[in-house]
Amino acid sequence: MSENPKPFRVFAPGDTIVDELAARGWTQSRLSEIMGRPLQLVNAICRGRRAITPGTALELGAAFGTSAQFWLNLETRYRLWLAEQRTSDLEAIRLRAKAG
């Protein structure tokens, strides 16, 4: 068993944005207007094709009444999970490190 249990599946921050939009009755277009950002950016974030930057996290926090840290945490957790899925050598690295 792993020393650091990890969630089976981590959801992209865009999934949370889509849920928030639905709960508020907003569209991606409306969010882009509120944030003063291009619709293409909002759409790319919602689809998981663009990462949330610190500046965008501040804007999302202001729009949704959350903290920027909330959005950055979602983004970091998701990107780390993606990297773990793509990296097959982690266990070998751990074993070599323990061996000295």
User: Is 70 exceeded by the pLDDT of residue 49?
Assistant: yes
Q: Please, which residues have CB within 8 angstroms of residue 10's CB and are 6 or more apart in sequence?
A: 77, 78, 81
What's the average model confidence in pLDDT over 71-94? 88
Question: Residue 52 maps to which CATH number?
Answer: 1.10.260.40
Distance, in Å, from the CA atom of 93 to the CA atom of 79, rounded to the nearest integer, reads 20
For 22, the domain range is 13-99
7 part of a folded domain: no
The DSSP call for residue 29 is H
Mean pLDDT to the nearest integer, 21-25: 99
Q: What is the pTM of this model?
A: 0.82
Q: Is residue 50 within 8 Å of residue 44, measured between CB atoms? A: yes
Number of domains the chain contains: 1
Query: Which pLDDT score, from 0 to 100, does residue 90 have?
Result: 82
**Looking at the domain assignment, is residue 60 inside a domain?**
yes
Q: What is the DSSP string of 51-79?
A: PPPHHHHHHHHHHHTS-HHHHHHHHHHHH
- pLDDT, position 88: 74
Interval 62-80: pLDDT, tens:
999 999 999 999 999 999 9
